[in-house]
Structure formats: C-alpha cells, structure tokens
C-alpha cells in the first residue's frame, strides 16, 4: 500500500499502480487500499503520508513515523494509549499512516542505535511536532535538558515561565510522541521519584541509568 500510494501521488493512474503491484483487479486494489487507509487511492493521493516502520532497541521495538522530510513519531510499540496518540497525530497532521520507510527512518535508526551504544548524546533529526503552542513550548524545554541530567515537572514549568502550570506541563509531557529524541524520560518527580512515563517506568529507569543520571541528578 505504501508503494501504491507513492505511485498514485506521483501521478500514476490507479489502475496501473494496481496491476503493477500484482493485483488482478482494480476493485481488489481499491478495497484493500480503503481497508488499510480508510479512503480510496484517489482521495489518499492528495493527503500527507506518514510512513511507519519499526526500530529495534535494547529496550524493545519502537514505532517510527516519518514523512519524506520529517520525523513525527517515535514510540515504544507497547506504550499505553499509543492508539490514541496515533489518532491525535493523524488529525493534527491531517495525514494517513502507511507501511514503509523514508530516508528519515534510516537516519533515525542510525542515531537511536548510536544513542544506545553510548556514541551519541544529542540528536540531529528533522522533527515535526504537531501540537498546541503550550505543548510545543514544553517539548522545546525538554530538548534543552542536557544528557545525564534531570528536571522536575515544577522546574520545567518554571523554565517556560509558567510556574503555576505544573499539571498542564505534566499533561504536555505525556503527549510527547517522540520518545528519547524529545527526552521526557529526564523529567522526574519533585522528590526524585520516577513518575509518569508512557513507555513504562522500568524503561525510564533504564534510560536514566544508561545516561548516567538518576533521580535527583
């Protein structure tokens, strides 16, 4: 379907895309396309495609979603409420998800591997973060937390100039869709307690240990 969408978006007639991919009938291709993407190929061709693929890490498989130019999604595949996050991203980006990879996936896979090998502390990836202005301010503050350091939710709220918005900051952190790259794992409770990580607190602990940081660092 990813190949089919790419061909149709590049101007190839749907019937040629169908037969070129081995479908015996146009109706069969259309039905399969609609089942996967929720709309016919002629409509999907005018939308934004987020190609999704898997990235293996020592802490489990991650789902990566990218366009031809930007990374929009990087989540552990067993994350709580990942389906909800996908629905929100689809709506905010006005996009559809299709299986496949882009050069952005290759770069993300390489940099994530380097991170887990201890050869990378910062990421140089083209990110797109659809969200509210407040969410983007919080996510930007997370990216400013140095490797091997932590911040409390209250400190992040103060960093964006809204010290009374701790609860809203926590919600925005929970809405982060780019795990590790936007390091929400570096935010801990005010008393050094590990709290609130969609990928599981055990992963948060392992990530901080890998970086040489611990609660209260």
Domain ranges of the chain: 2-44, 48-116, 133-211
Q: For residue 132, what pLDDT is reported?
A: 96
Residue with tokens 């990087």: 74
Residue with tokens 């992040």: 156
Fold of 133-211: Arc Repressor Mutant, subunit A (1.10.10)
User: How far is the C-alpha of 94 from the C-alpha of 105, rounded, in Å?
Assistant: 20
| CB 67 within 8 Å of CB 50 | yes
Q: For residue 42, what pLDDT is reported?
A: 61
Q: For residue 192, what pLDDT is reported?
A: 81
User: How far is the C-alpha of 191 from the C-alpha of 57, rounded, in Å?
Assistant: 30
**CA angle (112 as vertex; 110, 114 as ends), nearest 5:** 70
User: How far is the C-alpha of 68 from the C-alpha of 48, rounded, in Å?
Assistant: 10
Tens digit of pLDDT per residue, the chain (217 long)? Answer: 666 766 666 677 777 777 777 777 778 777 776 665 566 666 655 567 888 899 999 999 999 999 999 999 999 999 878 888 888 998 898 887 877 889 999 999 999 999 999 999 999 999 999 999 999 999 999 999 999 999 999 999 999 999 999 999 999 999 999 999 999 999 999 888 888 898 999 999 999 999 998 654 4
Which among 184, 188, 208, 213 is annotated as catalytic? 184
Rg (CA), the chain: 19
Q: For residue 44, what pLDDT is reported?
A: 57
State yes or no: is 184 an active-site residue: yes
Q: For residue 216, what pLDDT is reported?
A: 42
Q: For residue 217, what pLDDT is reported?
A: 40
Element (H, E) at 130: none
Read off the pTM.
Answer: 0.81
Q: For residue 45, what pLDDT is reported?
A: 56
User: How far is the C-alpha of 161 from the C-alpha of 174, rounded, in Å?
Assistant: 19
Task: List the beta bridge partners of residue 74.
Answer: 64, 178
21 contact partners, CB below 8 Å, separation of at least 6: 3, 4, 29
Q: For residue 83, what pLDDT is reported?
A: 86
Task: List the beta bridge partners of residue 97.
Answer: 50
Q: For residue 79, what pLDDT is reported?
A: 86
The residue count for the chain: 217
DSSP character at residue 65: E
């Amino acid at each position: 379907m990813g190949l089919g969408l790419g061909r149709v978006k590049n101007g190839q007639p749907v019937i040629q895309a169908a037969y070129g991919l081995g479908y015996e009938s146009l109706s069969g291709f259309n039905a399969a396309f609609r089942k996967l993407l929720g709309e016919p190929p002629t409509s999907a061709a005018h939308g934004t495609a987020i190609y999704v693929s898997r990235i293996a890490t020592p802490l489990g498989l991650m789902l990566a979603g990218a366009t031809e130019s930007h990374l929009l999604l990087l989540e552990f595949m067993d994350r709580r409420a990942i389906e909800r996050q996908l629905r929100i991203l689809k709506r905010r980006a006005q996009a559809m998800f299709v299986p496949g990879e882009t050069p952005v996936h290759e770069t993300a896979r390489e940099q994530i591997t380097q991170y887990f090998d201890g050869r990378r502390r910062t990421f140089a990836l083209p990110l797109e973060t659809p969200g509210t202005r407040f969410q983007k301010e919080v996510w930007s503050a997370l990216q400013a937390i140095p490797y091997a350091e932590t911040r409390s939710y209250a400190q992040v709220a103060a960093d964006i100039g809204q010290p009374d918005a701790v609860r809203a900051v926590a919600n925005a952190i929970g809405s982060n869709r780019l795990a590790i790259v936007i390091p929400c794992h570096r935010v801990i409770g005010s008393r050094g307690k590990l709290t609130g990580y969609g990928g599981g607190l055990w992963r948060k602990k392992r990530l901080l240990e890998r970086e040489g940081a611990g609660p209260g660092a």
